[in-house]
Amino acid sequence: MAEDFKLGPDEAVVLRVGKIGYGSGGPFSSMFNNGELILTTKNLILLRKNLFGKTEETKYFPLADIKMVDGKPQVRKSNPAHMIYTLDVYFNSGLESFQFEWESDIDDWVANIVSVVTGTPIQKKSDLEMLQEAAALAESMAEPIEKIQGLFGIKSNRPVSCKCPSCGATLSGIKGETTKCPYCGTFYTF
């Protein structure tokens, strides 16, 4: 299928997302919300589509025209109205706002635009760092919550697993609950 936009010889697509609105007003001020936004190594490209998904207009916003302040491209997430989140890009010619369906996608776009414009890699946490953070958080959360629940007589719902003391089978249940080992019939309290 032919694309509705043209890339230069050394231009590559970095990101693309659909259901994009153009303009920063409320949900009805935007003329459409089924546009497609494409980040390439040189441009932001907006495909303006009709109701049938056919591209009616292709707009090119050269990344070289993004305003730089202290070496930083002026790109940010903004929340101009309730439940409306936009990717705001400040060009030398003025502000362009793109409404996203998902707020969380915008952070990714900001990071990628900054990365492409400045030529620096995106600062991403490694899987190991993420795991370590999650483990530390789980550790700091689980115990105090159980203690507080205990004070109020609320049963914990933390799933735990233990070895049956008489046959060694793995038993799983909720902390504080008593279960009967399905293999040897021993009662065990987690």
In the list 64, 72, 184, 189, the residue contacting Zn ion (rule: CB under 5 A) is: 184
Min dist CB 169 to Zn ion, Å, is: 5
Largest CA distance in the chain: 77
> Among the candidate windows 11-19, 74-82, 103-111, 166-174, which touches Zn ion by CB under 5 A?
166-174
Distance separating alpha carbons of residues 141 and 61, to the nearest angstrom? 46
Residue 170 CA, distance from chain mean position? 37
181 near Zn ion (CB under 5 A): yes
In the list 12, 164, 175, 176, the residue contacting Zn ion (rule: CB under 5 A) is: 164
In the list 27, 167, 172, 174, the residue contacting Zn ion (rule: CB under 5 A) is: 167
> Among the candidate windows 27-35, 43-51, 138-146, 169-177, which touches Zn ion by CB under 5 A?
169-177
Angle at 113 between CA 112 and CA 118, to 5 degrees: 100
Tell me if residue 52 falls in helix, strand or coil.
Answer: coil
By CB under 5 A, how many residues form the interface with Zn ion?
Answer: 8
Q: Which is it for strands 94-100 and 13-22: parallel, antiparallel or unpaired?
A: antiparallel
